[in-house]
Homo-oligomer: A and B are copies of this chain.
Amino acid sequence: MRVAGLISGTSVDGIDVAVVDIGESIRVVATATFPYPPDVRATILSVSNATTHTATIARLNFLLGELFAEAVMKSGVPLETIDLIGSHGQTIFHEGEPVEFLGRKIASTLQIGEAAVIAERTGIETIADFRTGDIAAGGKGAPLVPFLDHQLFRHPELARVALNIGGIANITVIPPNAAPDQVIAFDTGPGNMVMDAVAPPFDRDGALARTGRVNEALLGQLLADPYYHRDPPKSCGREQFGAEFIRDTGIDIATSTELTARTIALAIAGYPATREVIVSGGGAHNSYLMERLAALLRARVTTSEEFGIGVDSKEASLFALLAYQTHQGRPGNLPSATGARKPVILGKISRGTKPSPGA
């Protein structure tokens, strides 16, 4: 089955598409990225974990549906060969830990990018909203990528860690020949979100961080945050590392890059058997950050390219795989990673106008 996966990550750069053939194995057919127009990006950031008007959220949801649909149509793969679409959408709020709300404990997440629009424009059955089902089952709705990591990177003898450096950085710990419930995964802390905010649009190759000076006093304070020392499962987002964090800490690019590297290394140090760290996400392009990781980690550092998955398309490939799972009536979360009570069939299915792909 040919499935298109779609995501725009927490760094809100644009829409990543991966078209993937899924059967016995997973083969990436095409990938593409479509940056958001600046006014769209600014509007997304203005509504993310922020005060806004309901109208803006509603309209943006439909507008992003159009852009996500266009991303599939411009991916270069003939639309009539695509059987299914899996769309993560754009997260504008995520709170995996329950909070007190109107007398109940409520965890929640909110992704936009209207799937009904994607299904209508493309004619293709579209599955979206993959995080809500995990939260409904008591999980944190994140991370979801361990499901793909486990399928792709499990090794009969080697202990591996898959590291994704998106807006937030997260790791998947995969023991040798791991069963699904032996996989551990969690957000390590900030990824590109803080670095990009202090050196917009981003610090190419980490050049600014390389020549800057780390504020050791601030770094020490930040590393004392209990989040880094808490046991998984745990997840974080723009709520912790957004505009308020930048403003309150006055952090610079050298310090934020070192904070990212050190919090990743701290997390991986908890799994001393690790022999290989497989990096993906935009942070994999940051050669200074990659050097810092190689220096801090006691393991071989490589990228997902070695396994046929471009560093920028792992998450999009994940949502293709998760849509496939849902279409087959199979769960897509790893409870050991998200903290859910059980595996659940994720996502919501919007029918397209093409005949449904055979189950």
Binding site for B on A (CB under 8 A): 37, 39-40, 43, 47-55, 57-63, 65-66, 92-95, 99, 101-104, 106-110, 114-117, 119-121, 128-129, 132-133, 135-137, 326, 329, 344-345, 347-351, 353, 356
Contacts and interface: CB of A to CB of B under 8 A. Distances in A.
25 contacts: A39-B102, A49-B54, A49-B55, A50-B53, A52-B53, A54-B57, A54-B92, A55-B108, A58-B108, A58-B110, A59-B106, A60-B102, A62-B106, A63-B102, A63-B104, A114-B132, A116-B132, A120-B344, A129-B348, A133-B350, A326-B351, A344-B353, A345-B351, A347-B350, A349-B351
Given A58-B110, A116-B132, 11 more contacts: A49-B54, A50-B53, A52-B52, A58-B108, A58-B109, A61-B110, A63-B104, A117-B136, A119-B133, A120-B133, A349-B350
Contacts of A129: 116, 348
Nearest to A346: B116
B49 A51 contact: no
Nearest to A54: B93
Contacts of A137: 120
A1 B356 CA distance: 22
B104 A58 contact: no
Given A102-B40, A114-B132, A54 B58 contact: no
A108 B52 contact: no
A12 B228 CA distance: 43
Contacts of A106: 59, 62-63, 66
Q: How many copies does the complex hold?
A: 2
A311 B344 CA distance: 38
A6 to B, nearest CB: 16
Contacts of A116: 129, 132-133, 135-136, 348
Contacts of A66: 104, 106
B57 A110 contact: yes
**Max count, chain B CB within 10 A of own CB: residue among A60, A101, A137:** A101
A101 B59 contact: yes
Contacts of A356: 329
